[in-house]
Every structure is written in C-alpha cells, then in structure tokens.
Amino acid sequence: MAVGIFDSGLGGLTVLDEAVRVLPDVPFVYFADHAHNPYGVRDAEDIYTLTTAAVARLFETGCDLVILACNTASAAALRRMQENWVPKDRRVLGVFVPMIEALTERQWGDSSPPREVEVKHVALFATPATVRSRAFQRELAFRAIGVDVEAQACGGVVDAIEEGDLELAEALVRSHVDALKRKMPDPQAAVLGCTHYPLMENVFREALGPGVAVYSQPKLVAASLSDYLVRHPDMFGPGTEAAFLTTGDPARVSSQATRFLRRRIAFSSA
C-alpha cells in the first residue's frame, strides 16, 4: 500500500511530514535526487529526463501512485509524463492543482468552465524553472478568469535552505518579496510555489505584510492526497515498507534531513 513522494532535494519532506500526519497507516517512500539538485536552474528536457528516472525507481519499490512534491518537476515534466509516459495502471500527480483549487475555491474534479473568483491579484514565488514554464498560470486559467499573476523567480533560496543557511535564506526571501512588490504593490494572495518555502513561511508573511493570504502546499497537498486515495483505493501500491532514498551521499543527506525536520531521518542509496 506504499505511496511515493519525489523531490529533487529536501523540500518535499514538508509534504511528506503532513502526509504522514494525515495518513499514518500508509508507508511512504521518499526519493530525493540530490545528485542533480537543484532542478530549478535546469532546462525542461533535463528536468523531464531526471523526473521520469526518479519516478520509475519509485514504481520499482512498489508505489503505484507518486506525488511530485517538487514544483519544478510538476511544472516542467508532469503534463508530458501523464500524456506520454505514465503506464495506465499507475498515477503521477503534482502539487499545483490542490493549491489552485484552494485559491479558486473549487472542489477536486470540478470541470465547469473557468469563472470569476474573489482573488484578482496573486503573487507567485517559485524557482526560475517553474516561473519560466508558466504552468501555474496555465492551470489557473482552466479554473478562473480575470486573475493577474505576478511571478517572482526566487534564485538562491532553495540552495540556502538545503545547506542549512537560514539566515541567508531569510535575507533572500525578503529581497525577492521586495522585488515582487515593486511589480505588484498590493497582492491579495501569495502562493509559495516551492515545497522548500514553507520553512520560510513566517518570513514571507512578515515581508508581505498583513492582509495578504499566503497559500502553502503541505497541508493542501496532504488533504488532496487523502481525498484521492479514498476515491481511488486501487492506487495503493504493493509496497509495504517506508523508506528514504537519495542519489546523493546518504550520510550527508540524512544529517541535512534530520536538521530540516528536527527528527532523525535515515536515507539509503537509491
């Protein structure tokens, strides 16, 4: 009954932690591609190749359902994977749709035409590759009209968080928020479009100021996953063991992950 969660690094652990809380009886297999991290500065073809290789490895571990807890992979690779690569008896889901459903107040599976929504001015904070893909804007357009999205590529933030330099990460977040607000002075909502960013959520909130609704992914994605598995119990894979896999150095990654989640995490070689 295993479910896979993939990220290029440690950011997806924020989603995993919430998923484990919501679904404590489900064994999750987490795969981090530290050998090629970060994905946010790579081109779309490279991201697609790396993501399919990682998901194939998760399929091998007994996961029939894989969550791309990596916004860059969701943005640059997911649609192509779903259309041309994912086997019919497997599923790969991304992290954008739960966020957009919450933003537009639409239920999962609502296929009605896009409509006017209350939020008109949205700030998107994401990696350079996610911003270039315009995947968030494309998915939003399927559900809402009349929404102005201003995207800010947050270079350096993921690297700083992965290295545990939270002081640098905070300074970079404040700089990127300032840059965004020069383009969109009064956003109504802000989307944290990277699973690393919840660790800096309080900094984003403080820098954005009161009155800006901040949408962060872990709780939204975990709730959406729980709902999906209720409706699709056949998507539980045959795997029975939880695991943490990395293409990087397991000892180093385990140390970083333990610091990241403030509990002991032991990675093995993928």
CA 185, 199, 100: angle at the middle one, nearest 5?
Answer: 60
The Cα–Cα gap between 221 and 198 comes to: 13
Whether residue 227 is predicted with pLDDT greater than 70 in this model: the reply is yes
How far is residue 244 CA from its own chain's centroid?
17
What span, in angstroms and rounded, lies between the C-alpha atoms of 27 and 2?
5
pLDDT at 108 over 70: no
pLDDT per position as a tens digit, 171-224: 999 999 999 999 999 999 999 999 999 999 999 999 999 999 999 899 999 999
Pairing of strands 121-126, 148-153: parallel
Q: Is the distance from CB of 7 to CB of 221 less than 8 angstroms?
A: no
Largest CA distance in the chain: 50
CATH of the domain spanning 97-216: 3.40.50.1860
Q: What is the mean pLDDT of the chain?
A: 93
- Residues identified as active-site: 70, 194
Q: Can you read off the two tokens belonging to residue 244? A: 């943490």
Residues 6+ apart with CB under 8 A from 35: 247, 248
**Identity of residue 91:** R
- pLDDT tens digits, residue range 237-250? 899 999 999 999 99
pLDDT in tens, 50-96: 999 999 999 999 999 999 999 999 999 999 999 999 999 999 999 98
* pLDDT score at 110: 72
Same CATH fold, 97-216 and 3-94+218-269?
Answer: yes
Give the pLDDT of residue 113.
86
CB 41 within 8 A of CB 126: no
Q: What pLDDT score does 123 carry?
A: 97
pLDDT at residue 157 is higher than 90: yes
Where are the chain's structural domains?
3-94+218-269, 97-216
Q: What is the mean pLDDT of residues 16-21?
A: 95
Q: Would residue 107 be called left, alpha or beta, if left means φ above 0 and alpha means ψ between -120 and 50 degrees?
A: beta
Q: What is the pLDDT of residue 265?
A: 93
Classify residue 269 as exposed, middle or buried by CB count within 10 Å of its CB (0-12, 13-18, 19+). Answer: exposed
Instruction: Label residue 40 by pLDDT band (50, 70, 90).
Output: confident
Average pLDDT over residues 19-30: 96
Paired strand residues for 52: none
Based on the number of CB atoms within 10 Å of its own CB, is 261 exposed (0-12), middle (13-18) or buried (19 or more)? Answer: middle
Q: How many angstroms separate the Cα of 156 from the Cα of each of 160, 182, 185?
A: 6, 20, 23
Task: Give Cβ neighbours of residue 139 (< 8 Å, ≥ 6 apart).
Answer: 96, 97, 100
- The CATH class given to the 3-94+218-269 domain equals alpha beta
| Residues of the chain above pLDDT 70, percent | 99
Question: For the purposes of burial, counting CB atoms within 10 Å of the CB of 268, is it exposed (0-12), middle (13-18) or buried (19 or more)?
Answer: exposed
pLDDT of 16 > 70? The answer is: yes
Q: Note the pLDDT of residue 10.
A: 92
